[in-house]
Amino acid sequence: MPKSFSFRLIATNAAARTGEIATAHGLVRTPAFMPVGTQGAIKGVHHDDVHAAGADIILANTYHLMLRPGAERVAALGGLHTFMRWPRPILTDSGGFQVMSLSALRKVEEAGVTFRSHLDGAMVELTPERAVAVQILLGSDIAMQLDECVKLPADRNDIERAMQLSLRWAERCKRAFESAALDRALFGIVHGGDDQWLREQSARALTDIGFDGYAIGGLAVGETPEVMRKVVAETAPALPADRPRYLMGVGTPADLLAAVARGIDMFDCVLPTRNGRHGLAFTRFGPINIKNAHHAGDPRPLDAESRCPAARDFSRAYLHHLFKAGEALGGTLLSVVNLFYYQDLMAGARAAIAARRFADYVAETEEQWMAKRDFPPP
């Protein structure tokens, strides 16, 4: 069938790109940041606020949803879009990363990975075919291949073994996905740790299999920012220019700008919501730890010119009080502030790339972070 899924490059500026992904549930403007809805909810934030922040697409975790409430249950309830009432694009990961990070007991074999559920201790098998089937049941617009993710630093042999296994799983995922003949997209995931040769091998082999988009996996797993940037810079050019490139699990605002400059189109990360719950606000003036005592008497908002009502309407003193008093509203408000900030950062990147001034945009943005001119209070 003709696919609703497509990717259109609108403009490039050096290696940076801006474009548009079309899906059956709507458009995704790239570079795009995907808020993480691990269990079918963005932690502490109402969907309406996620949408108001400007998110075109969210990410949901296959691992969590297959264990609870279960992929078959979600399918019976109309799929994830209906279940969680997010009628816009959704990307699901394959579950592989959470198996590695959350399950105490797991066994990786050629067939797939067997793991003990962190919820009830049941043994669960996740094969490439099951990972695809689960994502089809969930109904996501973009599914990810099952992969094996290795924490860095790691032994090169182990990195290569996992990379080769992930390639064989990529082929099986592609086959399973094609046989379902659905109007959705499947992305392959490049592995190879911090080794340029392995990364290029992986990128080439995945391109030969042929995917709707390509992710760079196995980063944001303990390496330094320098290693991450080097790997992205070396890997992105090895991927087809006419397909979206997705850097998984990244990152800070600075990480995002650095990766966009190297040709990345998509991101997901829990930082905006996790840091928000812990009292850290991302703002144009750099990060603000609202729990610091000097905010207690500060009547100024986080950013009077923000597009985000929570950043504009509430005083730092009030936000500080909410955290000191243990009121959950504080974490919710700062999560919303951060989701707006991440979306605005990406919107600014898109506009700057279209105007062929992305390097200037990065310099201006970083200068404003460093100046911290609005902080601490005068």
The Cα diameter of the chain in Å comes to 63
Q: What's the min distance (Å) between Cβ of 313 and its own copies?
A: 6
Q: How far is the CB of 278 from its own copies (least distance, A)?
A: 14
Count the helices and strands in the chain (H runs, E runs).
Answer: 15, 16
Catalytic option among 49, 56, 147, 268 = 268
User: Which of these is catalytic: 49, 93, 141, 195?
Assistant: 93
Q: Which helix (H) or strand (E) segment is 170 a member of?
A: helix 156-180
User: The tokens of 330 are what?
Assistant: 């504080």
β 213-216/245-247 pair status? parallel
Footprint of its own copies on residues 49-78 (CB under 8 A)? 64, 68-69, 73, 76-78
Q: Are 165 and 89 in contact (CB under 8 A)?
A: no
134 binds its own copies (CB under 8 A): no
Q: CB nearer to its own copies: give 41 or 209.
A: 41
Judging by DSSP bridges, how do beta strands 26-30 and 16-23 pair with one another?
antiparallel
324 near its own copies (CB under 8 A): yes
The DSSP code sequence of 142-162 is EEE------PSS--HHHHHHH
DSSP state at residue 294: G
Task: Out of 2, 299, 305, 378, name the contact with its own copies by CB under 8 A.
Answer: 299
The contact pattern for its own copies, residues 187-226, with x = CB under 8 A and - = no contact, is ----------------------------------------
Please confirm, yes or no, whether 268 is among the known catalytic residues.
Answer: yes
Which SS3 state, helix, strand or coil, does residue 376 take? coil
* 208 in catalytic set: no
Shortest Å, Cβ 59 to its own copies: 15
* Whole-angstrom distance, CA of residue 217 vs CA of residue 119: 26
CB of 182 to its own copies, least distance (A): 23
User: Distance between CA atoms of 34 and 318, rounded to whole angstroms?
Assistant: 29
Does 357 help bind its own copies (rule: CB under 8 A)? no
Smallest distance from its own copies to CB 354, Å: 34
Please report, as residue ranges, which positions from 4 to 43 form the binding site for its own copies (by CB under 8 A): 39-43
Answer whether 283's CB lies under 8 Å from 303's CB. Answer: yes
Q: Which residues of the chain form contacts with its own copies (CB under 8 A)? A: 39-46, 64, 68-69, 73, 76-78, 83-85, 296-297, 299, 313-315, 317-318, 321-322, 324-325, 327-329, 332-333
Which positions are catalytic? 93, 268
